[in-house]
Amino acid sequence: MDNITALIFGYNKYASEIIANVEDKYDEVRLFSLELETTPSKNDERYTIEYFDLSDSWHNVQEHIDTKHSIAFCVLEDTAENIFLTISLRAHFKDLTIIAIASDKESANKLKMAGANKVIPLVETTSDIITNMLEKPISNKVLHSILYEESALKIAQIKISAESHFNNELLSSIDWSRYNGIIVLSVMHSNMKSDFIYSSSMKEHIIKPGDILVVVGYDHDIQEFEKKIGSKRYVNWSHWSW
Amino acid sequence: MLKRLILDFAYYLQTSQSYQAKKKFFYNLLENDNCPYKKYVDMAMMTLIFVSVAVLIREVKFHVGDYMLFFSNYIISFVFFVEYMLRLWVNSSVSEIIVARAEHDTFLLRDVNLVKAFKIVLQLKLKYMFSLQALIDLFAILPFFHELRLLRIFILFRVFKLFRYAKSFQTLSSVLATKKFEFFTLAIFASIVIFVSSVLIYVMEGNNANSPIHTLFDAIYWSVVTISTVGYGDVTAVTQEGRFVAMLVIMAGIAVLAFTTSLFVSAFTEKLQEIKEMKIIEDVSKLKNFYLICGYERVAKEVSSKLAHRGKRIIVLDADEKRVEQAQKDGFIALHYNPGSVDSYKKLNIDINTQVKAILCLREDDVENVYAALTIRSLNKDVFILSLLMNDANRKKLTFAGINKTVYPQELVGLITKELVGKPVAFEVIHELRSENSPVMVDEIGITSRIVENFLTVKDLDNTDYKIVLLGVYKQKDDRFYFNPLDSTFIEAGDYLLVIGYKNFIKEFEQYLHTKVKHG
């Protein structure tokens, strides 16, 4: 059986941070560098860094990898090379989830065009964080702690199963306050787009199996909620749309 | 005995808070451009000047009422006299000089030499009194003695007083002062040309009956009119020799005129940037509640634009001229000052405590950010400093330099990927809430005592009527966030509501909280 692998292209500080945050979620992590004989830093000594070039030979990568459930991180510091790498990966692996970093909006757009599923625009993200820290310090702190699990509060996505008693119910008719301890923020429905719970498009929405609820709450409350509605937490990149 | 009395009085004045406060008040009113009331005093004085000049002009051909003459000659003169005395008073501190001398002599176990102290006082006061501006002030008072007809012309000195009040005049004189030597050379050259040509024309034409030049004064008048290229034509050379001299003077005149024009132009060109900068600094010193951004690179550019979009004031400091130019092109107030130099902040003339909301060290270089932060901390211990961190190994150094908050982009990438991998939908939801371009946003609503009067508990808020999700209440006094609070939770002044909803609905909800009519 093929491994679910995290492929990281480019070995730098971004790569090290990514390894630290995702290694427990994948069967294996493979590091690639454009430079021959790159030595890993002390924290990443357990990994060997493989050499790759920007030619189209991906046989080495392809072997024993479940590309449908694996993920590739393109973190080359040279924007042009990063775009070229993304386009090359997409051309060969149709189902592979590709996350790339971009220094600015222009290269972010190009990376999306090249086939990246998600682009992290570094400058924009950093400046967003700084601006929110300054102008909305409380909400920034709360959202940060929820998102990055620095507090007991969690954010979860719950998929409505076929057995859920919410099925075929009008979203706006549900009294969410009955479910103490959790707040439903949005719903991702069949068109693969998430909508705010109070948006006008959600008013007439009838819940169907496969809809994903994004909820915030304490872990035990989320578990209770899952039990009550008869659905489970859900993660699947294939549902992701841009 | 007298010495003792003088010393006691000097010490009393030096330590008297009310005396020092009064002196400072008048100093600010007359001399401190940053004092908000100075401009009103200046405007009042300028009005008085124009009134007295108007009276002088009117008086030439028409009768001016006695009350107006009284106002111009006595009241205005008295106001100017008071102003003159106040300026003389605040110009230097007599008590400070006496106390300093007394301390000095006592320390050296000598008898206090008051004569020396008074000598210094006299020198300082005389120096001020003989300064050009003080002399103009003094002459402006002289029309008080209007019975001496000649002294009435001193009313014109009041016009010169305008130099003191109008900043642009001061700028003009400071610009011209930079070319003092060149103007002096020009004056010497013009004087020599005028002198030689006057003598020559007088010699050539003085004895000619047809020539209008009869006296040396006529010759000088002709020379000045010709050299300035004005050439009225009322006095002209009639002899051939005279006309030859005229040709030479005309050529010299062109040279003098060209030289003068180029001097003015070069003086202004050289000083233009400085003048602009001075104007910016003056404007900055009046600003309140602004963000000071040290370094203008990619992140700084984006942060500035986001903050400006939210209506926040930004001042950019950067040691690199090109980056400053870029910031100016982007529409921000940017100054070519090194954020790592104490001098920069002194020149800026800002009070970090009262004017600056936060300082952002956004150079993409830890060394530069640490340097700037240390400089700021040496000036102010309390201001909030946020900095970019480019290398995690330097985190401790930044904290040690007094930076309150660091933002490490690499770490952000790590955290984002973790969430993206685990909860992509949830991540995107939170990301959308934080983004400025999204219609749905998370916002903080501060609770005032007025709101508390109308809304006692969470239940009273009726946020769902506005399609707003109440994520929680932040209690400032406990520094605690209460997620999804119960309906019975009390709301207190100083709390913050964290709400999620459409921008417009949040605005309406906020208005509703502030305007609801009191119960009962």
Report if residue B304 sits inside a domain: yes
Same structural domain, B53 and B116 = yes
Report the Cα–Cα distance between both ends of chain A, in Å, rounded. Answer: 30
Do residues A83 and A182 share a domain?
Answer: no
Boundary residue ending a domain (B240, B272, B304): B272
Q: Do B469 and A185 touch (CB under 8 A)?
A: yes
Query: Residue B359's pLDDT is what?
Result: 95
One domain for residues A184 and A112:
no
Give, as one character, the DSSP assignment of residue B487: T
Model pLDDT for residues B170-216, shown as the tens digit of each residue: 777 788 888 889 899 989 989 998 999 999 999 988 888 888 999 99
Q: A67-105 pLDDT, tens per residue?
A: 888 889 999 989 999 999 999 999 888 888 899 999 888
Contact B496 A138 (CB under 8 A): yes
Same structural domain, B267 and B302 = no
**Is the sign of the CA dihedral B15, B16, B18, B24 positive or negative?**
negative
Q: Which residue has the higher pLDDT, A211 or B292?
A: B292
User: Which of A127, A143, A160 represents a domain boundary (last residue)?
Assistant: A127
Which amino acid is present at A34? Answer: L
Same structural domain, A96 and A161: no
Window 192-231 of A, Cβ < 8 Å to B: 194, 196-199, 212, 214, 216-218
DSSP letters, B170-186, are: HHHHHHHHTTHHHHHHH
φ, ψ for residue B336 (rounded to 5)? -80, 70
Contact A155 B426 (CB under 8 A): yes
A19 and A121 inside one domain: yes
Beta strands across the sheet bearing B385-388: B333-335, B313-317, B290-294, B356-361, B385-388, B405-407
- Chains A & B: contacts with CB separation below 8 Å: 178
Q: Are residues B128 and B229 in the same domain?
A: no
Q: Are residues B148 and B67 in the same domain?
A: yes
Distance CA B433, CA A140 (A): 10
- Give buried/exposed letters for B491-515 (b at 16+ CB in 10 A, else e): beeebbbbbbbbeebbebbbebbee
Pair A85, A115: CB distance under 8 Å: no
Q: In this structure, is residue B171 part of a structural domain? A: no
Q: Is there a single domain that holds both residue A89 and residue A177?
A: no
Window 111-150 of A, Cβ < 8 Å to B: 118, 120, 122-136, 138-143, 146-148
The separation between CA B430 and the C-alpha centre of its own chain, rounded to angstroms, equals 44
DSSP letters, A56-118, are: S--HHHHTTB-TTT-EEEE--SSHHHHHHHHHHHHHH-SS-EEEEEESSHHHHHHHHHTT-SE
Judgement on whether residues B160 and B185 belong to the same structural domain of the protein = no
Q: Which helix (H) or strand (E) holds B494?
A: none
Question: Among partner residues B310, B434, B484, which is closest to A143 by beta-carbon distance?
Answer: B434
Please name the helix (run of DSSP H) or strand (run of DSSP E) that holds residue B63, with its range, or none. Answer: none
Is the Cβ pair A139, B440 closer than 8 Å? no
Q: What is d(CA B316, CA B331) in angstroms, rounded to the nearest whole number?
A: 11
**Within this chain, do residues B32 and B121 fall inside the same structural domain, yes or no?**
yes
For the domain that residue B468 is a member of, what is the CATH number?
A: 3.30.70.1450
Rg (CA), chain A: 20
Check whether residue B115 and residue B52 sit in a common domain: yes
Whether residue B175 is contained in a domain is answered as: no
Same domain, A158 and A121: no
In a domain, A34, yes or no: yes
Which residue ranges in chain B fall short of pLDDT 50? 519-520
- For residues A20 and A118, state if they share a domain: yes
Q: Are residues A16 and A122 in the same domain?
A: yes
Q: In the predicted model, is pLDDT for residue A178 greater than 70? A: no
Residues B20 and B136 reside in one and the same domain: yes
| For residue A242, pLDDT beyond 60 | no
Output the pLDDT for position A2: 64
Which one of A22, A130, A139 has the shortest CB-CB distance to B442? A139
User: Which of A12, A131, A150, A235 best tests the B interface by mutation, with the highest count of B CBs <10 A?
Assistant: A131
Instruction: Among A68, A94, A127, give the residue marking a domain's end.
Output: A127
Residues A94, A29: contact at Cβ < 8 Å? no
Please list the residues that pair with A120 across neighbouring strands: A101
Q: What is the pTM of this model?
A: 0.69
CATH number at residue A62: 3.40.50.720
* Residue B128 and residue B91 in contact, taking contact as beta carbons nearer than 8 Å: yes
Task: Indicate whether B219 and B244 sit together in one domain.
Answer: yes
Q: What is residue B52's predicted lDDT score, i.e. its pLDDT?
A: 84
- Residue B73 and residue B146 in contact, taking contact as beta carbons nearer than 8 Å: yes
| Subunit contact A143:B409, Cβ cutoff 8 A | no
Instruction: Determine the distance in angstroms separating the CA of B295 from the nearest CA of chain A, rounded to an integer.
Output: 14
Q: Classify residue A64: in a domain, yes or no.
A: yes
Interchain contact, B405 vs A122, CB within 8 Å: no
Q: Residue B172: inside a domain, yes or no?
A: no
A188 and B425 within 8 Å at the Cβ level: the answer is yes
| Residue A239 reports pLDDT greater than 50 | no
Q: Give the tokens for residue B44.
A: 């009042």
One domain for residues A99 and A161: no
Contact B244, B308 (CB under 8 A): no
* Helix (H) or strand (E) run with residue A26 in it: none
Boundaries of domain holding A179: 152-239
Indicate whether A150 pLDDT > 90: no
Domain edge (last residue) among B242, B272, B302: B272
Q: Provide the CATH number for the domain around residue B314.
A: 3.40.50.720
Neighbours of B241 (CB within 10 A): 14
DSSP per residue over B358-410, as a string? Answer: EEEE--S-HHHHHHHHHHHHHH-SSS-EEEE-S-GGGHHHHHHTT-SEEE-HH
CATH of the domain at B251: 1.10.287.70
- Considering only CB atoms, which chain A residues are within 8 Å of B407? 126, 129-130, 133
User: What does the DSSP 8-state code read for residue B497?
Assistant: E
Q: Which residue in A20, A147, A212 is closest to B419 by CB distance?
A: A147
| A18 and A83 belong to one structural domain | yes
Q: In chain A, what residues touch B360 (CB-CB under 8 Å)?
A: 130, 134
The confidence score (pLDDT) of residue A110 equals 93
B386–A153 C-beta distance less than 8 A: no
Q: Say which residue, B308 or A46, is predicted with more confidence.
A: B308
Does A20 lie in the same domain as A109? yes
| Nearest CA among B177, B144, B140 for reference residue B158 | B140
In the three-class reduction of DSSP (H, G, I as helix; E, B as strand; rest coil), residue B318 is classed as coil
A232 occurs within a structural domain: yes
Please, are residues B376 and B359 in contact by the beta-carbon 8 Å criterion? yes
Q: How far is it, in rounded angstroms, from Cα A215 to Cα B85?
A: 75
Q: How many angstroms separate the most distant Cα atoms in chain A?
A: 62
Kindly state whether residues A83 and A177 are assigned to the same domain.
Answer: no
Q: Which structural domain, as residue segments, surrounds residue B502? A: 438-515
Q: Chain B contact for A101, CB < 8 A?
A: yes
Which site among B429, B443, B505 would you substitute to test the A interface, given the most A Cβ atoms closer than 10 Å to its Cβ? B429
Q: Establish if A140 belongs to a structural domain.
A: no
Its sign, for the CA torsion B122, B123, B126, B127, is negative
Neighboring chain A residues of B388 at a CB cutoff of 8 Å = 126
The verdict on residue B281 lying in a domain is: no
Give yes or no for A106 touching B (CB within 8 A).
Answer: no
Last residue of a domain, one of B243, B272, B301: B272
Q: In terms of domains, do B454 and B510 share one?
A: yes
Q: Chain A: residue nearest B412 by CA?
A: A126
Query: Does the complex come out with an ipTM higher than 0.85?
Result: no
Cβ of A13 within 8 Å of Cβ of B392? The answer is yes
Residue A133: inside a domain: no
A227 — pLDDT class (breaks 50, 70, 90): confident
| Mean pLDDT across A24-32 | 86
Split into its structural domains, chain B has a count of 4
**Interatomic CA distance for residues A187 and A197, integer angstroms:** 6
Domain co-membership, B91 together with B184: no
| Residue A205 tokens, joined | 């929405």
User: What is the pLDDT at residue A234?
Assistant: 55
Q: Which of B412, B413, B405 is nearest to B387 (CA)?
A: B405
CATH number at residue A167: 3.30.70.1450
Torsion B334-B335-B341-B344 (CA) sign: negative
pLDDT band at A237 (very low <50, low <70, confident <90, very high): very low
Domain count, chain A: 2
In chain A, which ranges are E strands?
5-9, 28-33, 49-51, 71-74, 97-102, 118-121, 153-159, 182-188, 194-196, 212-218, 232-233
CB contact under 8 A, A130 and B407: yes
Label the pairing between strands B356-361 and B385-388: parallel
